[in-house]
Structure 1
Amino acid sequence: MASIAYNFGEKISVELAYLGFKRNGSLQIEETIEFGDETFDVDELIESKFNVDIYRLAFNYHFFQSPNWTLGAALGVHITDFDIGISAPERMISEEVDQIAPVPYLALNAEYRFYDRWQLGGSIEYFSLRAGDSDGSLVNITAGIDYSFSDSMGLGFAYNLYDLSVNSDSLTDDLAGEFQYQYSGPLVYIRVGF
């Protein structure tokens, strides 16, 4: 993960962040899968890819600041680019879907500076929407520790839980149903501010 922030005074900042995941696998399937225009049969060996790029833009307002504490709220957008593909190498067929999902969110965040250049921090981002035959939600929770090399650069380690789900009868022209993407695990990140 990488992020960059620009501070407009002490209370307002804008942050841009990026996080990417690349997953590939193969499996002999136990049930028929219909994906896009292709059908993958029982006992067929398939190869899959699941690549996700998450871009986040946030406008932060720090409503409480003390020498050790900063509490704030944010309004932002997650722009998630999914590249999902399935292939059956023996039959030389494949199907791929590339979908971009922009999701706005609200967030609360806190930082506690406990020793010189060390601080603990966390954030909770949430959004939920129901419209017509579609509904979706985003939950992104992060808690971690940062070390600042200088006033504008630092390194951090965090634990992150990310859950994006969409249910629809018409996600795209070729794809309908339920989509859920969950990730939880450690993050190492670089923080740069101006």
Structure 2
Amino acid sequence: MLKRCLLFTLLAGIAGSSHASETSISFGGFYSHSDSTMNVTNPSLGNDFELDFESDLELAEKQFLPFFELEHQFAENHHFYVDWKQLHRNAETQALSKPFQVQIDDTVYDVKAGGQLTTTLNIDIARIGYGYDFIQGNNYTVGVSVGIHAMFIKTGFEGTIGACNITDVVGNICAVQEIPSIIDESVTAPLPDIGIYGSYHISPRWQLSAHAQYFKIKLDDVEGSLIDVRAGAEAEIAKNWFMSAAFNYYKVDVDIEQTGDSTGIADYNVAYSFIGPMLSISYKF
């Protein structure tokens, strides 16, 4: 719902502008190499350790993932933009090698070793903002951007799982009640980000471009950050149609700090990063 509201807000601003000069709609994908972890507790030994989504839970390290971008330029050096990235993965582990506990809100979940476990890790990021070209030359542009981001995170485990209230944990042992799954969904409120971008036209049909963006989130007991750096080239392949190839570094780090009685249960953390190529097709009008 929030993603739709962000998009509708941008389109309404475009429709109401009397200085519209160009709109660009882009669809594409990026080939990611992921490293994702979560801090958990060993229920037998009571010590905290880092559970790896790729090696321990068999999530794919490499995957092709989609993105969408819309940009509207008006009054020569002003821009509105909106984009969305989908970082979705899931996997099935036939025999979990490491038992672990996680705490979400006031409930402790106990995931047993040896059983089948289905894991989901979904991260969606929606962004809307404004850019201003403060330097313009005959064939180059440099600008700054300000905007807001919203992050949608879903982490799920389905299998042989026990659960108990945090007050029932004694010596890291939980009197478990069997449940089919854990689903933890977090939505961050829109929070500000800043960035810088630039482009250089090699010829009327070719240009080089780059951007760097950063944002940090803080909502109740959730804190995290994102870094987005991209550099690439764009070529006109037909009238109004363009193809882009770029190299992108993207890093998301989200921490959920536990409150109240800690009882030795580790804080919940998801780290997701990738570095790799991106390809997209754009239509400009």
Q: Same fold (TM over 0.5)?
A: yes
Bigger CA radius of gyration: 2
* Cα deviation, residue 83, structure 1: 2.0
Residue among 132, 137, 140 paired with 2:225: 137
Q: How does 1:80-95 map to 2 (within 5 A)?
A: 80-88=151-159, 93-95=180-182
Q: Which moved more, 1:124-133 or 1:114-123?
A: 124-133
Query: Quick check: 1:47–1:89 contact (8 Å CA) kept in 2?
Result: no
Partner of 1:97: 184
Amino acid at match of 2:72: Y
1:22 aligns with 2:92: no
Q: Secondary structure at the match of 1:30?
A: coil
**Identity within the alignment, %:** 22
* Cα deviation, residue 141, structure 1: 0.8
Partner of 1:53: 124
Amino acid at match of 1:13: H
Partner of 1:3: 69
Q: TM-score, normalised by structure 1?
A: 0.83
Q: How does 1:1-194 map to 2 (within 5 A)?
A: 1-27=67-93, 28-34=96-102, 36=104, 37=107, 38-88=109-159, 93-101=180-188, 102-128=190-216, 135-149=223-237, 153-170=241-258, 176-193=267-284
Which stretches in structure 1 are left out of the alignment for 5+ residues? Answer: none
Q: 1:132 to 1:141 in 2, by over 3 A?
A: same
Amino acid at match of 2:145: A
Q: Deviations over 1:101-131 (max 9, x none)?
A: 2342100111111122111111110134679
Amino acid at match of 2:282: R
* Cα deviation, residue 82, structure 1: 1.6
Query: Quick check: 2:115–2:160 contact (8 Å CA) kept in 1?
Result: no
Query: Quick check: 1:2–1:190 contact (8 Å CA) kept in 2?
Result: no
Amino acid at match of 1:93: P
Amino acid at match of 1:97: D
* CA-atom RMSD in angstroms: 2.9
* Cα deviation, residue 184, structure 1: 2.3
* Cα deviation, residue 98, structure 1: 1.9
Which stretches in structure 2 are left out of the alignment for 5+ residues? Answer: 1-66, 162-177, 260-265
Query: Quick check: 1:107–1:124 contact (8 Å CA) kept in 2?
Result: yes
Q: TM-score, normalised by structure 2?
A: 0.58
2:119 & 2:233 partners in 1: Cα distance?
35
Aligned residues: 191
2:217 & 2:120 partners in 1: Cα distance?
28
